[in-house]
A = this chain, B = another copy of it.
Amino acid sequence: MLIMKRRDFVKKASIGAAGSAILAGCGSSEDEGGAAAVQTRPRINWRLTSSFPRALDTIYGAAEVLADRISKLTDGRFQIRSFQAGELVPYDQVLETVRKGTVPIGHSASYYFVGLNPALAFDCTVPFGLTARQYNAWMYYGDGLKLTREIFADFNILNFPGGNTGTQMGGWFRNQVNSLADLRGLRMRIPGLGGKVMDEMGVTVQVLAGGDIYPALERGTIDATEWSGPYDDEKLGFYQVAHNYYYPGWWEPGPGLSFYVNRKAWNALPSDYQAALEAAAAEANVGMMASYDAKNPAALARLLQNDVQLRKFPDDLMLEAERIARDLQEREAAADPSYRRIYESYSSWRKNSNRWFSTSELTYATFAFRHT
């Protein structure tokens, strides 16, 4: 417990250099500080295009948290109206739409857009990547925001951290997976980098959109599917047709969502509206994590009342997946210097923070969470 008077501190402490720890700024101009108490605040109306359906209320809800706060901060003068995936554009057109400025702001998961630039994955998550807390530290106080913004500059976009799900679950399996060998020939719905790793481990990877997964799992066209965590998974009802619920979702250890803002639209905002957007994004960021952390425990408890068995992925599978994931990333880095730059920042951040996170935080959690 920190208890000290000011005079105490100067006795011994080496005074910290950084007196002011401010979240990374992003181009807000200086306060004008003029004497006028009467000013003009423009009315601005934006549409926001989300990559998520409204029914996934936690992840979609971050856009509403953002819009509500910005409205309150500007006495209703800067209004943002949120649209769910498919209302304005499909979920995978959000980046392109904001790039063009057709819609000035979006909310998405940047790993949807690795086809445009593989390094965009680091704005969200990669297999065996950072946890939610490590990610926020890297984004706000490491090079994360700086480096991801360099990538987004190519798309005429300014990105802001805008939520996290925490470590997702590994998904729903009709049969048990007791070793790496059990993956061979398994038909699993898993997109993205996780799917690439699974493919190298012998899985027959299927990519199905949300609504097609349940019937495929029910009919046995697929043997397994991943999705998100208990609260979101429960809505899709997978527990009714596959009873083995595996963890951890090593391909999504702490997915960060992002708000995308078109740079031209950003530059046209008054500086206090820019500040409003930045502060509201930070609030949405902490709020989504808290919301998932509030809802997932109860959802998991409900799922466990439905013949669901919690199962841990076997060690040999985890180790092999980690090896393959690192190898995929190393190959990408060898082929692309701009990928290497952000990959190295991200990887060394992870490596350098492991010892600290493995001491107090992990040891306490292991002890405290044993009461299940």
Kindly list chain B residues whose C-beta atoms are within 8 Å of the C-beta of A167: 360-361, 364-365
Find out whether the CB atom of B366 lies under 8 angstroms from the CB atom of A354. no
Interface size on A, residues (CB 8 A): 158
Find out whether the CB atom of A9 lies under 8 angstroms from the CB atom of B211. yes
Given A41-B39, A57-B19, A131-B368: A355 touches B291 (CB 8 Å cut-off):
no
Kindly list chain B residues whose C-beta atoms are within 8 Å of the C-beta of A194: 1
The answer to the question of A275 belonging to the interface, with a C-beta cut-off of 8 Å to chain B, is: yes
| Distance in Å: Cβ of A291 to nearest Cβ of chain B | 5
Partner of A210 from the list B8, B61, B134, B354 (CB cut-off 8 Å) is B8
Closest 8 CB pairs of A and B: A4-B210, A8-B211, A21-B61, A31-B76, A141-B294, A6-B86, A137-B293, A72-B275
Q: Nearest chain-B residue to A57 (Cβ)?
A: B16
Find out whether the CB atom of B293 lies under 8 angstroms from the CB atom of A353. yes
Kindly list chain B residues whose C-beta atoms are within 8 Å of the C-beta of A351: 371
Partner of A75 from the list B15, B271, B357, B369 (CB cut-off 8 Å) is B271
The answer to the question of A296 belonging to the interface, with a C-beta cut-off of 8 Å to chain B, is: yes
The answer to the question of A335 belonging to the interface, with a C-beta cut-off of 8 Å to chain B, is: no
The answer to the question of A191 belonging to the interface, with a C-beta cut-off of 8 Å to chain B, is: yes
| Distance in Å: Cβ of A3 to nearest Cβ of chain B | 6
| Distance in Å: Cβ of A10 to nearest Cβ of chain B | 8
Given A40-B37, A368-B253: A16 touches B131 (CB 8 Å cut-off):
no
The answer to the question of A56 belonging to the interface, with a C-beta cut-off of 8 Å to chain B, is: yes
Kindly list chain B residues whose C-beta atoms are within 8 Å of the C-beta of A168: 360
